Amino acid sequence: MYNRYIPPPKENQASKFPQAAPAASSTSEPDSRDVPGQAPAEPAQPALAAQPQRIVFDDANLPPVDHSKSRRTIDEQLTGATEGKKPKKSKSKKSKEETKQDGEESELKESKSRKRKRGESNQAAVDPVTELPEEGDATPKPQLNIDGVADPETEATNAADEERKPKREKKKKRKQDDNPDTEMVDGDADGMRRRHKSVFEKVHKALQAKHDPEDANEDEEAEPEVEHGLEPLPQPEPVVFDESKLTYETLPPWLASPIRVAPDMARPFTELGISPESSKVLESKGFKDAFAVQTAVLPLLLPSPDRQGDVVVAAPTGSGKTLSYVLPMVHDISKGRVTRLRAIIVLPTRDLVQQVQLACEACTAAFAVNGGKKVKIGTAMGHKVFREEQSVIMGEEQRYDPQGYEKNLKKQNTFVNLEDSDEEDDGFGLERSQPLPYHVIGYASKVDILICTPGRLVEHINKTPGFSLDYVRWLIVDEADKLLAQDFQQWLDTVTEKLSIGRPGARDFPGSNKSGVRKVILSATMTRDLSLLNGLKLSRPKLIVVEGTKAGEQSLPPLLKEFAIKIRDPSFKPLYLVDLLQSKHMAAVNQDTADEVSVGSETSDAEASSSGSESESDSDSESGSSSSSDDDEPQPTAKLNTKQPKLSTTVLIFTKSNEAALRLSRLLALLSPDLEPLIGTLTSSTKTSRRTRTLRAFAQGKLRILVASDLVSRGIDLLNLEHVINYDLPISETSYVHRVGRTARAGKKGCAWTLVEHAEARRFWREYAGEGKGASTSIVRADKVERIRIGEDTGDGGFGEERVKVYEEALGRLSREAGGEGRK
């Protein structure tokens, strides 16, 4: 195919159109749109004025009208020319105008006589506006200005039409001769219509040509056609849009060009600026070498005169992000003497608050050596009564202040009853002490680091007397994508506002010229949404990512193996789960996993039993909410497993809701009583103290199976957890990444199993596994997801009769218990 040569459009092409567009003949007609007060083209005809349809504007009732604007707009529409160009008229144009004026005069006379003949009955001719739409185009209207008077500027462009007038006159005459009757009634109107029509067509054509240069060129002076050979004309290189690149480049440089760290990188802490003494303590706690993400983050956060910006970390689950910020933060604070609130760590759940508290405590010991300050750590997460929490994190201090002392003394004397005064009831959880002479009672932080949930932090900011962020120089936001997406009580605005003000010198970093607040933002699934990140008001941020991932991708731990199990009949899904738990697949995958646990030894452990019977409420007696360890509990009529199951590994099972977790936990116990003592339940409605006990029992190996809602899908570090089972499909790729990331942590192996129902298969394979037609996933993984067959013990895709019977009995019992019937 060869391209046709198209001459370029002439520059002044558009400006020619007005000249080509003739003025409507109606310029010489009096018009119904005449506005009194402006000189009409000719005196109004009394007969016409009597027409009932005619709209006559009365000067007295009308405000003065400035039509110049609308006229200009209309003209511009028509001509495509600006006013500035209008005065440029050619000589020939001028002479044409003169000719036209003569023609106008004669036409005016002719028109007058026609009108006299026509009389009052011909309305259409009276109001040309009603005729104009006949052309199917509103464009002609502008041929008349809004006063009904021909626009002189438009008139000037009508010379060409005037030249054709004699022809039309002749034609009209011929027609009149042919049909004298018509002429009597419609002749004038028809004549006008034809004239309008021809004008409109030309204008229309001109306007079209303006938009379609190809057509316009046809009317133009023909450019000599350039003949080409048969070879195609040289074409520019086709532009290939690399969408990923485009998206990437829309990010600011710090997000688009992150600092990349190899996932297998490891270095001794001493090489990263941690003293040998501190490193020794860390080693004794199990932290021998720094993990990859720590090797990148520590140098950026440890004291240094040149590296001072904020840090954003996007690294896989279990890669050691916690230590990467806790170490430098504690290191910095341990250099001080006075206890002030220096750091805030914000986390989405209480369990994570407690977990990070343990990590902080491990590190405080490491930096308390060599005379460093023993950093004090507090938590605020709403697990205690507010006043109690206040008294844990804030305390009174006697400050020498004679002037303040006198002032307070005067104030106190003005209150008759101090007990009732507002002054006394300051909402603080401590009994107020009496000030020493010449001292005032102030409030001071009892902790250097506060680990908290966002809602509780805001409460303390708003309600706890003396609670201030004036000295805070570290703000850590862990699981940032979650915290930024859900703005609990507008916590971020509240905190950033407080951090933006402060006393001079209060935020100075010891041993550095840095002053201010260092922000460290972390997640395994870090958002690149700038509208969210902007809320953090980061200063000169740097992004750390683990190599192998691009913007918007989230990588799984390298030693994680993933499996998918097809569920042929969802109504038997719990049986598939039981079969998986009792299959050879549920084996230890790491050498150092605790020895095989026999059921008999576990049942004797009181703590495991109590933890295993986690319930949704505080009451252990609440039905349907726990896998009770009552000895006298009757067993299902037919036993599923005659052999003693041995679970040599640890399993975390995710369900879609609290309710589902509780039901499944109970059903598992009913279907497989041998497993019952090993099962614990974790849901968001479980009391914090119970959750803590369950987690401890699991860490000790007393519990081996945890059934949980998504409460523990983020951040929770379950020691030696080897298998994660997605009993219910997670709601998103992000949720999948966090759930399966509870295993294969800290360089260990782990397995993730997903039960996939037929209706979910498409979504799972495309969006989560990234396989099949139209696959699209943000998840980066070392190996493909493997398909595993489980259950279906009859070989025909179903379960044996005996199992189905047991199953139905268990379901029946579960529903009776849910209906209020207690456990026997």
Ligand X SMILES: Nc1ncnc2c1ncn2[C@@H]1O[C@H](COP(=O)(O)OP(=O)(O)OP(=O)(O)O)[C@@H](O)[C@H]1O
CB atoms within 10 A of CB 595: 8
The 512-541 site mask, x for binding ligand X (CB under 6 A), equals ------------x-----------------
Kindly list the distances between the CA atom of residue 765 and the CA atoms of 630, 754, 760, in Å, as whole numbers in the listed order: 42, 11, 9
Cβ proximity to ligand X, 316 vs 673, nearer residue: 316
Residue of the chain from 317, 339, 390, 665 that contacts ligand X (CB under 6 A): 317
Q: How far is the CB of 250 from ligand X (least distance, A)?
A: 27
- Using DSSP, state whether 166 is helix, strand or coil: helix
User: In the complex, what is the shortest distance from the CB of residue 607 to ligand X, in angstroms, rounded to a whole number?
Assistant: 22
> Does residue 746 interact with ligand X by CB under 6 A?
yes
DSSP of 504-565: TTTTBPTTSS-BS-EEEEEETT----HHHHGGG--SS-EEEEETT--TT-EEPPTTEEEEEE
Q: Which of 279, 308, 319, 694 binds ligand X (CB under 6 A)?
A: 319
- The answer to whether the CB of 759 falls within 8 A of the CB of 728 is no
Residue 765 · residue 540 · CB < 8 Å: no
Backbone angles phi, psi at 446, to 5 degrees: -90, -5
Angle between helices 491-499 and 454-463 (to 10 degrees): 50
Amino acid, single-letter form, for residue 114: R
User: Does residue 735 touch ligand X according to CB under 6 A?
Assistant: no
Least distance in angstroms from the C-beta of 573 to ligand X: 27
Whole-number minimum distance, CB 663 to ligand X, in Å?
27
Residue 429 and residue 387 in contact, taking contact as beta carbons nearer than 8 Å: yes
Closest by Cα among 549, 453, 482 to 735: 482
Q: How far apart are CA 699 and CA 341, in angstroms?
A: 32
Written as one string, the DSSP assignment of 622-645 is -TTS-----TTPPPPSS-S-SS--
The token pair at 59 is: 């000067």
103 near ligand X (CB under 6 A): no
Q: Identify the helix (H) or strand (E) that includes residue 165.
A: helix 159-178
310 vs 479, beta carbon nearer ligand X = 479
Binding of ligand X at residue 745 (CB under 6 A)?
A: yes
Report, in Å, the least distance between residue 652 CB and ligand X.
Answer: 13
Please pick, from the candidates 18, 30, 140, 320, the single residue that binds ligand X as defined by CB under 6 A: 320
Question: Is the Cβ–Cβ distance between 751 and 556 less than 8 Å?
Answer: no
Q: Give me the least distance between CB of 788 and ligand X, in Å please.
A: 25
**Contact by Cβ (8 Å): 153, 38:** no
The verdict on 287 binding ligand X (CB under 6 A) reads yes
According to CB under 6 A, which one of 17, 200, 291, 768 is a site residue for ligand X?
291
**Is the separation of the CB atoms in 471 and 504 below 8 Å?**
no
If the CB atoms of residues 580 and 682 are measured against ligand X, the closer one turns out to be 682
Q: Which is nearer to ligand X, 298 or 577 (CB)?
A: 298
Which CB sits closer to ligand X, 187 or 715? 715
348 binds ligand X (CB under 6 A): no
Name which position in 717, 722, 792, 817 contacts ligand X (CB under 6 A): 717
* Calpha distance 117→237 (Å, rounded): 70
Q: Residues 114, 141, 196, 321: which binds ligand X (CB under 6 A)? A: 321
Q: How far apart are CA 779 and CA 601, in angstroms?
A: 41
Question: Is 323 an interacting residue with respect to ligand X (CB under 6 A)?
Answer: yes
Stretch that binds ligand X, among 207-215, 280-288, 589-597, 686-694 (CB under 6 A): 280-288
Q: Per rule CB under 6 A, is residue 572 in the interface with ligand X?
A: no
Pairing of strands 560-567, 786-788: parallel
At position 748, the amino acid (one-letter code) is: K
For position 780 contacting ligand X by CB under 6 A, the verdict is no
Q: Which residue has the tokens 């003025």?
A: 23
Binding mask 161-190 toward ligand X (x if CB under 6 A, else -) reads ------------------------------
Residue 715 as a binder of ligand X (CB under 6 A): the answer is yes
Count Cβ atoms within 10 A of the Cβ of residue 674 and give its class: 0-12 exposed, 13-18 middle, 19 or more buried: buried
224's tokens: 């000599």
Q: For residues 153 and 142, give the distance between their C-alpha atoms in angstroms, rounded to a whole number.
A: 12
Residue 549 sits in the site that holds ligand X (CB under 6 A): no
Q: Using CA atoms, how far apart are residues 144 and 723, in angstroms rounded to an integer? A: 84
Nearer to ligand X, 165 or 321 (CB): 321
Check binding of 318 to ligand X (CB under 6 A).
yes
To the nearest whole angstrom, how small is the minimum distance from the Cβ of residue 344 to ligand X? 18
| Total number of residues that touch ligand X (CB under 6 A) | 20
CA-to-CA dists, residue 794 to 264, 337, 575, 799, 802, angstroms: 46, 72, 13, 6, 11
Cβ(510)–Cβ(555) under 8 Å?
no
Q: How many residues does the chain have?
A: 824
313 CB neighbour count, 10 Å cutoff:
29
Q: Choose, by CB under 6 A, the member of 150, 272, 290, 706 that binds ligand X.
A: 290
Tell whether residue 710 is a contact of ligand X (CB under 6 A).
no
Among 191, 574, 741, 750, binds ligand X (CB under 6 A): 741
- One of 286, 305, 437, 820 touching ligand X (CB under 6 A): 286
Q: Which two tokens stand for residue 463?
A: 């309600």
Work out how close the CB of 316 gets to ligand X at its nearest, in angstroms, rounded to a whole number. 7
Residue 113 neighbours by CB distance under 10 Å: 11
CB of 357 to ligand X, least distance (A): 13
Among the listed ranges 91-99, 312-320, 688-696, 697-705, the one in contact with ligand X (CB under 6 A) is: 312-320
- Residue 200 in the binding site for ligand X (CB under 6 A): no
**Contact call for residues 694 and 706 (beta carbons, < 8 A):** yes
- The answer to whether 699 contacts ligand X (rule: CB under 6 A) is no
Stretch that binds ligand X, among 210-218, 289-297, 541-549, 704-712 (CB under 6 A): 289-297
Choices 26-34, 320-328, 545-553, 762-770 (CB under 6 A): range interacting with ligand X: 320-328
Does 263 bind ligand X (CB under 6 A)? Our answer is no
Smallest separation (angstroms) from ligand X to the CB of 532: 18
| Residue 328 contacts ligand X per CB under 6 A | no
Residues in touch with ligand X (CB under 6 A) = 286-288, 290-291, 294, 315, 317-323, 524, 715, 717, 741, 745-746
